[in-house]
Amino acid sequence: MRRHPLAFAQARTIVTKRYTDDHEAVSFDDQTKIGTVMITDYAQKSLGDVVFVELPSEGAVVEKGDVIGAVESVKAASDIYSPVTGTVIAINSELDGSPSLLNKSPEDKGWLCKIEVKDPAEVEVLMTQEEYKAHCES
């Protein structure tokens, strides 16, 4: 009996993280076409202690640049802008009871919403991490 190795088709998922001028970031999964929207660490440091977060509604259709929510802190209030066009498919309901997650983990546990991205090319034109770092330093 001759053995043949089984060939498995492996799909590689690539997650790309890109940044906006307004200090939002999106982590985009090229397989699912879902972007996880968050504020950056730079933004949360600028805001100070976050006390309230307003998020978009699930099912909302948003355009790139639309105001999709707001963050209020002890220092300031700031609008949140959508980095991409698409449909909001999930929101981080943990932020209702724990808005301080934005300070503790803005680019991980403090994510804002997930958007099914209509045009993945919109992600590619956003800033890379290196470009964003240079933007913040200028």
Question: How many Cα atoms within 13 Å fall on the side-chain side of residue 132?
Answer: 20
Supply angle C-alpha 31, 32, 33, rounded to 5.
95
Check whether 61 has a pLDDT greater than 50: yes
110: CB partners within 8 A, 6+ apart: 38, 39, 44, 92, 95, 101, 102, 103, 104
What is the pLDDT, as a whole number, of residue 40? 96
**15 confidence band (pLDDT: 50, 70, 90):** confident
Q: Which domains does the chain have, with CATH numbers?
A: 16-119 (2.40.50.100)
- pLDDT digits 0-9 by tens, 103-136: 999 999 999 999 999 999 999 999 999 999 999 9
What is the pLDDT, as a whole number, of residue 12? 65
More confident: 62 or 13: 62
Identity of the amino acid at 40: T
**Rg of the chain, C-alpha, whole Å:** 17
Minimal CA–CA distance to 84: which of 104, 63, 105?
63
Check whether 20 has a pLDDT greater than 60: yes
- Mean pLDDT for the chain? 91
27 near 6, Cβ under 8 Å? no
62 exposure class (CB count in 10 Å sphere: 0-12, 13-18, 19+): buried
